[in-house]
Structure 1
Amino acid sequence: MSAASNTVSRDLLNAARAKKTLDDDQPYSSSSFRATMKQKIEKLCKVSPYDWQLDVSEALCLGLDTLLLAATGEGKSLPFIAPLLHDNNALILIISPLNALEEDLAKRFTGMGFPSIAVNGETWNAKLRTNIENRMHRVLLTSPELALKNVEFRKMISNPSLSKDIRAVIIDEAHCIQQWGGANGFRADWGEVGRLRALVPPSVPFLATTATATPEVQRQIRTSLQFGDDTTYFVNDRHNITSEVHKITHTSSDYSDLDFVVDDALADDREIQKTMIFVDSISETHKIATHLRSRLPNLKRREIAVYHALRTGQAKKKVMRDFRRGKIRVLVTTDACGMGADIPDVELVVQFKVPASLSIWIQRAGRAARSPHIKGRAMLFVEKSVFEIIRPRSKNPPSGDDPPEEVEPLRDREDDNENDDAVSKNATEQVPVGRDGTWRYRKTVEAGLRAYIETMDCRRIVSDQYFDNPERIKALTVVCCDNCEKKALAPQPTSTAQQENATPTNRPTTPVSPPNPEVNSVHSTPSRNHNENGKRPMVLAVPEPDIKPVGARRDKRLAAAREALNNWRHGTWLERYPHASFGPKGLLPDVHLTTIASGARIITLDDLGNALKPRWVFLSVHGPEVLAVVKKADEDFKAEQDQLRDAKKENAKRLKVEQQEREKLEKSQARKAVESASQPEDIIWTQPQVPKSQPSNGVL
């Protein structure tokens, strides 16, 4: 196993150790527990456990809920038996997705000395219940459906006489909670497994294990199982598997791309390497098997077999037994075999046509080289339609005789001598694909898987970021992936001059721009600085670039950019990834959204890649879209600010005119008042009338 990000939450584990000391009223020795557990495992299994396996074992025995993320074949099931080794009366309950996996684990644990039984619709009866109640079985393996819906089983498990001895509930292949559970899932009870807590004492720890779970899936698992935030995480990287991506060169009904599976062995007259070919269609398992058999002599055709859900239980058991023993060399299968198979010596895993998600591909790829003593290959064959882009018909077709183009394969633009196994990163970045773009991919692929397919860097980088894996500390024992192999084989420049002139591997050359008449028409002027000869060299005046980067966005401009990115994030997720194993924040994490929104100097795809730490998984897929979103947000913000500024100017102009009119009116009124005050008023004299009754006094 590669590494663990925090093998176990140390604070939580230390707190549990301290609590153990208080509960037992005597010192608890972690080192003593681990030494004893290591000794018991070595004696029983003939192997020395990893430190992380001892961590999980101790966590379980201390009653801690644990989420274990470990690669297929790394030994996730070994800690299951820790409570049984620690307590001779202990029982454990394991929830498993498939009957085949239940039976396989039951057989293995029984072989270790722990009587185990698969409890399902075929085996459950009154006699089995009596045997369980009489402690004839210490490991019970069942499904969510039976555990939650079978009334008699629920009564048995919740009975204190039995439940007091249950030391752990283990949810194997816990990613099924997200992939299969929920109201719309085809096995909705997987989304309800957390209800099992009501059937057992509160002190019983839950252990959830999976080989593939993104941070969003981990969150859903924790929520469903009522885990706290401090849980255990492990990396799912496999150090002995080389991953490859190849483009299907033939039609979808022609399986010639798989001929190498049998042809290489026939050419060298050797045994066909043990191979699993995964497809997502039952009918296609038979078509591929028929095609491969047609290339073999009659006696060897029986070495090709199919495995899927519609085969009878007896037939599936026989196929798996013969495949395990090596009688069957090539198994063409659906996901029905993906989680139920524990075959340590599979050398080659092939996925023909893209699966629903990167998580599913990594899960299936992990079926290769489960034994650490062999080297394996995992090959993903991708349809042409994954690389093709669609341009919608224009409502107003362009003038001319040529009709609007509908479908354009990206690879057709490239040199015929280029490797055709993966799409060019440069081609991908130059094609605008998105909700508001002109182009769309012909086949919709989960963003994480598309990034994995299209990357020209190490494919492990993409998967590490997708699953939020910690840095690996275990050295690879094989070539990492096909991209790393190509880089290793590429000729390296030997001299300094060659290094300076060499074009970096997998990096597009900078196109030579045509002469700019505006630049060439500008007169040269002497430089202000003298050169080493004391001269002022002539310099060519170059116009300012069209795009002028400014400083960091702030205030309303920052808020506008954040809102635009958030709307894009939710809209893109709803349109393209509604059934993905991650949410909108998995598509564009908050830390990246904040960096992009605040960084006004991020203009090109290289700027974006350099600014986002850790590297954004979907950079090559959605980088151009995001740049377009923030550019439009800036343009809209500028247009709004210009509009506000213009409105402000118009308002100021209007107020100025109104003020001028008001002042003019006031001056006019004042002038009239002055003129009116300077003129004499008209005086009217009225001769007084003497009353007739008044006598005259004789005065004239």
Structure 2
Amino acid sequence: MGLSAVAINGETYNAKVHKVLAQVRATLHIQAETSCYVNVGIDRPNIAWFVRHMKGGKKDLDSLDFLLPTSEKPELEQTMVFFDDINISLDALKWFLERLPLELHSQVEVYNSRRSSRSKKIVIDKFRNGEIKYLLTTEAAGMGCDIPNVEQVVQFMVPASLSIWMQRAGRAGRNIRILARAILLVQPSVFQEMRVENVDNEPNDGEVKYRKDVEQGLREWIETVECRREAAAVYFDDRAARFDDETDNEIPTQSISNQNGKRTMEPSVPNRRGPHLQGARDLLQKWRSETWRTLYCRRLWGIQCLLPDAILTAFATKARLRSREDLIAAGWSPTHCEKHGLQILHVLKVYDDGYWGVHQEEKAQRLQAVESNVYKHSFILE
């Protein structure tokens, strides 16, 4: 019997691959009673995770200004900055050289596939021994790059998937004694919503579309208001014990603060998705039907005039709506909003509180199960 093996890494892993692997285990009849599934987990407790909002796209190199030295911190830290475009990394090199003192110019270098093998070896050796502090690189320095003294990893603009980001961020803190940082710079297009026009003028009943298409797992990791370690654990089906994000606040983050003293942009409230979104939509449809039947069924206008499908979907999706002004801005009739707006907001708030309450309870149960070693030697079949 011949078996073939495929290496799964940050470039190839995704939710579909995970399901296929689970299907293979089931097809081969690998039984939990006669096998041992060892999940060492993906958590790196000595890495603090950060998301920073950029003001622009690929030309917004000023979003890297937190890497410039200050009077309080004049020396450069051992840093890898990942780019998905070689030309942008070259522009970034020029940007740094224009702003760094002359004596620090030799400490910044680019590393990419355009270099010869000999040139790449020289650069990586200098980075390893600390002669080069800032390595501006692409995926060329991803797999197999095990340099123990990297203090921080920065990703310029979102990559293709969460697994790619986790792999690149994992270059930081290979020495477990280092309190490292992983910083994802997110461009505005990731959050910019697009108006979806239907050719047949039918109401759009889907989720909100964004200008930048981002893998669902990565978007949830970016937008979560909870522990990002938990978001990654769900994506990778990691049930091993992990540290809470509260430990991140204990890691020195002086270089993360805005250099011009301005308040950094706070994370937006994430939109409802999946079952959370469907539950909100069902709730609003029920409210609309009951309200129209109770108060307006004898009117000449129909139920769509009370709350059109497109507006209902917007209300169900956008968890950030907090006032009647927000509801009107989303497109609802001011007349109906004046009469029913507070009721809509109350219904959604009660629903969200209940949803997140159950979510927190399930999270606590998972942590309790981990602590009692329920999953320590179990084989999980999807």
Scaled to the shorter chain, the TM-score interval is 0.5 to 0.7
Report what 1:367 is aligned to. 171
Where do 1:166-177 residues align within 5 Å? 174-175=8-9
Q: Amino acid of the residue matched to residue 457 of structure 1?
A: E
1:296 aligns with 2:100: yes
Report what 1:334 is aligned to. 138
How far residue 363 of structure 1 moved from its aligned partner, in angstroms, is 1.1
How far residue 365 of structure 1 moved from its aligned partner, in angstroms, is 1.1
Kindly indicate whether the alpha-carbon contact (under 8 Å) linking 1:273 and 1:329 is maintained by their aligned counterparts in 2.
yes
When residues 442 and 318 of structure 1 are mapped into structure 2, their CA distance, relative to the original with a 3 A threshold, is same
Q: Amino acid of the residue matched to residue 452 of structure 1?
A: W
What is the percent sequence identity of the aligned residues? 34
TM-score in terms of structure 2 length: 0.59
**Which one of 450, 457, 461 corresponds to residue 230 of structure 2?**
461
Residues in 1 aligned to 2:113 and 2:230: alpha-carbon distance in whole angstroms: 34
Residues in 2 aligned to 1:477 and 1:438: alpha-carbon distance in whole angstroms: 32
Report what 1:450 is aligned to. 219
1:246 aligns with 2:46: no
How far residue 609 of structure 1 moved from its aligned partner, in angstroms, is 4.6
When residues 279 and 348 of structure 1 are mapped into structure 2, their CA distance, relative to the original with a 3 A threshold, is same
**Which one of 321, 345, 351 corresponds to residue 149 of structure 2?**
345
Where do 1:54-203 residues align within 5 Å? 174-175=8-9, 179-180=11-12
Residues in 2 aligned to 1:443 and 1:361: alpha-carbon distance in whole angstroms: 17
TM-score in terms of structure 1 length: 0.34
- SS of 2:150's equivalent in the other structure is coil
Residues in 2 aligned to 1:349 and 1:473: alpha-carbon distance in whole angstroms: 21
Report what 2:187 is aligned to. 383
Larger radius of gyration: 1
Q: Amino acid of the residue matched to residue 282 of structure 1?
A: I
- SS of 1:288's equivalent in the other structure is helix
Kindly indicate whether the alpha-carbon contact (under 8 Å) linking 1:246 and 1:381 is maintained by their aligned counterparts in 2.
yes
1:649-699 Cα distance to aligned partner (Å, 9 max, x none): xxxxxxxxxxxxxxxxxxxxxxxxxxxxxxxxxxxxxxxxxxxxxxxxxxx
When residues 234 and 326 of structure 1 are mapped into structure 2, their CA distance, relative to the original with a 3 A threshold, is same
Residues in 2 aligned to 1:254 and 1:605: alpha-carbon distance in whole angstroms: 36
1:424-448 Cα distance to aligned partner (Å, 9 max, x none): xxxxxxxxxx973484211110111
Where do 1:460-539 residues align within 5 Å? 460-472=229-241, 478-479=247-248
1:387-407 Cα distance to aligned partner (Å, 9 max, x none): 10111457799xxxxxxxxxx
How far residue 463 of structure 1 moved from its aligned partner, in angstroms, is 0.9
- SS of 1:294's equivalent in the other structure is helix
When residues 259 and 604 of structure 1 are mapped into structure 2, their CA distance, relative to the original with a 3 A threshold, is same
Kindly indicate whether the alpha-carbon contact (under 8 Å) linking 2:50 and 2:182 is maintained by their aligned counterparts in 1.
yes
How far residue 337 of structure 1 moved from its aligned partner, in angstroms, is 0.5
Kindly indicate whether the alpha-carbon contact (under 8 Å) linking 1:307 and 1:331 is maintained by their aligned counterparts in 2.
yes
Report what 2:126 is aligned to. 322
1:260 aligns with 2:66: yes
Residues in 1 aligned to 2:162 and 2:179: alpha-carbon distance in whole angstroms: 22
Structure 2 unaligned blocks of 5 or more: 252-267, 271-285, 291-349, 364-382
Report what 2:205 is aligned to. 436
How far residue 252 of structure 1 moved from its aligned partner, in angstroms, is 2.7
- SS of 1:246's equivalent in the other structure is strand
Kindly indicate whether the alpha-carbon contact (under 8 Å) linking 1:174 and 1:221 is maintained by their aligned counterparts in 2.
no
Kindly indicate whether the alpha-carbon contact (under 8 Å) linking 2:54 and 2:60 is maintained by their aligned counterparts in 1.
no
1:217 aligns with 2:17: yes
Residues in 1 aligned to 2:116 and 2:67: alpha-carbon distance in whole angstroms: 27
- SS of 2:183's equivalent in the other structure is strand
Residues in 2 aligned to 1:290 and 1:263: alpha-carbon distance in whole angstroms: 16
How far residue 298 of structure 1 moved from its aligned partner, in angstroms, is 2.3
Report what 2:324 is aligned to. none
Kindly indicate whether the alpha-carbon contact (under 8 Å) linking 1:239 and 1:477 is maintained by their aligned counterparts in 2.
no
1:17-46 Cα distance to aligned partner (Å, 9 max, x none): xxxxxxxxxxxxxxxxxxxxxxxxxxxxxx
Kindly indicate whether the alpha-carbon contact (under 8 Å) linking 1:387 and 1:442 is maintained by their aligned counterparts in 2.
yes
- SS of 2:235's equivalent in the other structure is helix
1:515-534 Cα distance to aligned partner (Å, 9 max, x none): xxxxxxxxxxxxxxxxxxxx
Residues in 2 aligned to 1:325 and 1:316: alpha-carbon distance in whole angstroms: 14
Structure 1 unaligned blocks of 5 or more: 1-157, 159-168, 181-212, 398-433, 483-505, 509-543, 549-602, 616-700
How far residue 255 of structure 1 moved from its aligned partner, in angstroms, is 0.3
Residues in 2 aligned to 1:270 and 1:280: alpha-carbon distance in whole angstroms: 28
Residues in 2 aligned to 1:469 and 1:480: alpha-carbon distance in whole angstroms: 23
Where do 1:566-645 residues align within 5 Å? 604-609=351-356, 614=362
Q: Amino acid of the residue matched to residue 58 of structure 2?
A: S
How far residue 308 of structure 1 moved from its aligned partner, in angstroms, is 1.3
Kindly indicate whether the alpha-carbon contact (under 8 Å) linking 1:280 and 1:335 is maintained by their aligned counterparts in 2.
yes
How far residue 289 of structure 1 moved from its aligned partner, in angstroms, is 1.3
Residues in 2 aligned to 1:394 and 1:223: alpha-carbon distance in whole angstroms: 37
1:311-347 Cα distance to aligned partner (Å, 9 max, x none): 1100110111000000000001111101121111111
When residues 547 and 463 of structure 1 are mapped into structure 2, their CA distance, relative to the original with a 3 A threshold, is farther
Aligned length: 264
- SS of 1:270's equivalent in the other structure is coil
Kindly indicate whether the alpha-carbon contact (under 8 Å) linking 1:240 and 1:376 is maintained by their aligned counterparts in 2.
yes
- SS of 2:248's equivalent in the other structure is coil
Kindly indicate whether the alpha-carbon contact (under 8 Å) linking 1:214 and 1:468 is maintained by their aligned counterparts in 2.
no
Report what 2:91 is aligned to. 287
Kindly indicate whether the alpha-carbon contact (under 8 Å) linking 1:351 and 1:379 is maintained by their aligned counterparts in 2.
yes
- SS of 1:300's equivalent in the other structure is helix
Residues in 2 aligned to 1:458 and 1:438: alpha-carbon distance in whole angstroms: 24
How far residue 378 of structure 1 moved from its aligned partner, in angstroms, is 0.5
Kindly indicate whether the alpha-carbon contact (under 8 Å) linking 1:350 and 1:378 is maintained by their aligned counterparts in 2.
yes
Q: Amino acid of the residue matched to residue 87 of structure 2?
A: S
Kindly indicate whether the alpha-carbon contact (under 8 Å) linking 1:242 and 1:376 is maintained by their aligned counterparts in 2.
yes
**Which one of 116, 123, 145 corresponds to residue 312 of structure 1?**
116
How far residue 466 of structure 1 moved from its aligned partner, in angstroms, is 1.2
Residues in 1 aligned to 2:229 and 2:148: alpha-carbon distance in whole angstroms: 22
Q: Amino acid of the residue matched to residue 216 of structure 2?
A: A
Residues in 2 aligned to 1:335 and 1:259: alpha-carbon distance in whole angstroms: 23
When residues 477 and 330 of structure 1 are mapped into structure 2, their CA distance, relative to the original with a 3 A threshold, is farther
Q: Amino acid of the residue matched to residue 175 of structure 1?
A: N
- SS of 1:463's equivalent in the other structure is helix
When residues 247 and 474 of structure 1 are mapped into structure 2, their CA distance, relative to the original with a 3 A threshold, is closer
- SS of 1:381's equivalent in the other structure is strand
Residues in 2 aligned to 1:175 and 1:237: alpha-carbon distance in whole angstroms: 16
1:76-100 Cα distance to aligned partner (Å, 9 max, x none): xxxxxxxxxxxxxxxxxxxxxxxxx
Residues in 2 aligned to 1:309 and 1:435: alpha-carbon distance in whole angstroms: 44
Kindly indicate whether the alpha-carbon contact (under 8 Å) linking 1:354 and 1:380 is maintained by their aligned counterparts in 2.
yes
